[in-house]
Amino acid sequence: MFELVRGRVLDVGCGAGRHSLEAERRGLAAVALDNSPGAVEVCRRRGVPDVRLLPLAAIDESLGVFDTILMMCGNFGLVGTAADAPPALRTLHGITTPDARIVLDSVDPYYDNDATDLAYMERNRARGHLPGQVTIRLRYLDSVTPWFDLLNLSPSELEELLRGTGWKTAYLVPGEEPDFYAVLEKTGAP
């Protein structure tokens, strides 16, 4: 999917910075964002030139204008909930060029579920959540993040969330199941 990345790049949830480093290797300027101080430090040590400690919810026009937004490794899910997705997408619309794109991947929550997964999904539905919304935290040795919502979507759920945001699916590419990749392009004003 990296062949679809162009121009100035915003790498949301950059982690250790591999996508930002690849963008730089290809001659593209990248701004890497993560809400983990440890991830930001690792990015800096690995040589990412512009990395910032910033969550998705704090993105605004002060970052400048971008041609590509990367939300890889499930990071589209950082929108958190179905209700939070449209405002986040409208914000990204506002900080991108007219021909910008979002390159993302997600995990289709409906693929190969066992009884425990199905029960979790049913509890989500009963609470008014999308079935693939999970509440998680990450742990490494003695470090642990606060709990946060991560939204896993099917391609059809992604389409539904895009309504009224100024984005549409331009490409949908199957990955190794249950993963899929998508490229979103602007449709005009949200």
159-to-50, 72, 182 alpha-carbon distances in Å: 32, 18, 10
How far, in Å, CA of 157 to CA of 18, rounded? 28
Rounded mean pLDDT of 164-170? 96
Give me the residues paired with residue 173 across strands: 181
pLDDT in tens, 27-37: 999 999 999 99
pLDDT in tens, 26-75: 999 999 999 999 999 999 999 999 999 999 999 999 999 999 999 999 99
Q: Is 109 helix (H, G, I), strand (E, B) or coil?
A: coil
73-to-14, 60, 124 alpha-carbon distances in Å: 9, 22, 23
pTM for the predicted model, two decimal places: 0.93
pLDDT in tens, 72-94: 999 999 999 999 999 999 999 99
Q: Is the pLDDT of residue 140 over 90?
A: no
Return all residues near 141 (Cβ < 8 A) that are at least 6 apart. Answer: none
Token pair recorded at residue 38:
């440890």
Average confidence score pLDDT of the chain: 94
- Domains parsed from the chain with CATH numbers: 2-186 (3.40.50.150)
How far, in Å, CA of 24 to CA of 162, rounded? 29
Rounded mean pLDDT of 5-23? 97
Q: Is the pLDDT of residue 112 over 80?
A: no
How far, in Å, CA of 132 to CA of 81, rounded? 10
Assign 167 a pLDDT band (cuts: 50, 70, 90): very high
The percent of residues in the chain predicted with pLDDT above 90, rounded, is 86
How far, in Å, CA of 187 to CA of 167, rounded? 5
